[in-house]
Structures are given as structure tokens and as C-alpha cells.
Amino acid sequence: DCKCVIGHKDSSDLNESDGSVFVPSAEESTDDDDGFDSEESEVEKTIRKTIKDTIFPSSKEVKKAKQKSARKMTIKRSQRNPEGKRIWNKKQYCVYCEKAQSKIARHLERSHSSESEVAKALSFPKRSKKRRILLEQIQNQ
């Protein structure tokens, strides 16, 4: 009748030499403050805690999330004139000077070309995909 414990090469050190069983006295605390549970290993605690923490949200939490996402948001699009040309009335705000600009790429090129991120973006050719991506990242900061 040998009890084997994972991680121990020899289970003989786990057996009591006199065959007695340890029974805690009434004075000893049975709280789990020491972090050990006689029936559960640390790995089992971690697994149980991980599973417990990853349970899906309750229906109450789902309803709250739906209410929050149900808000309407309008985003102004660029408009076109009767000839089909763009009307430059949509404003974007500059990250550096915090002023409204209708042509943010031109503004960055003329006013903030000394900024390292702008200089890197401007080093690429005009209308290149890399330049557009970098300027867009600056705008979205």
C-alpha cells in the first residue's frame, strides 16, 4: 500500500515510520492562509482558479454590454460637390499643435516636418502605401 507523489523519486520518505496518522488539534487553524490544501495540489488550485476566472460573463453582464454598444454614433464623411469633387469640410486634429486641419498630411509636411515620426513618413515617396500608413498612424495617436 504505497502512496506515490508526483515529483518525488522515493515515496518511502512520505510514509510515517510508526504508522500513525496526523490529526490536527482543535487549536490549530484550518484556514487556507498558508496556501496549502491537504487534498489539492498547487497545480490543481491553479487550474481550478484559471477555469473559474475564464468563465463567460453572466446574462446580466451581456445585457449591459449590449446596452453600451447600442448607442448610436455618427461619423461625418467627406462630402462631394455636384461635379463629384471632394469638399474639404471634414476636420482632423493635429497631434502636435492640436488645431483642426482639413488637409492633415499637407499640414504635417509643412508645419511638423522636423518631428521624427513625420520625417520618417515623409521620407517615402508621395502616394506610396508605406507613407500613407505612417501618416495615418500619426493621425490616430
- pLDDT of 89 reads 83
In-domain check, residue 31? no
From CA 122, how far away is CA 109, in angstroms rounded?
Answer: 7
From CA 140, how far away is CA 135, in angstroms rounded?
Answer: 9
Query: Which residues constitute the domain of residue 132?
Result: 79-139
In-domain check, residue 46? no
In-domain check, residue 3? no
Q: What percent of the chain has pLDDT over 70?
A: 51
From CA 135, how far away is CA 92, in angstroms rounded?
Answer: 12
In-domain check, residue 24? no
In-domain check, residue 1? no
In-domain check, residue 93? yes
Confidence (pTM): 0.43
The helix/strand/coil state of 56 is coil
pLDDT in tens, 28-80: 555 554 545 455 666 666 655 555 555 566 667 766 766 666 677 787 777 89
In-domain check, residue 118? yes
Count of structural domains within the chain: 1
In-domain check, residue 84? yes
- pLDDT of 11 reads 47
Residue among 23, 48, 19, 45 nearest 34 (CA): 45
φ, ψ dihedrals at 86, nearest 5°? -75, 140
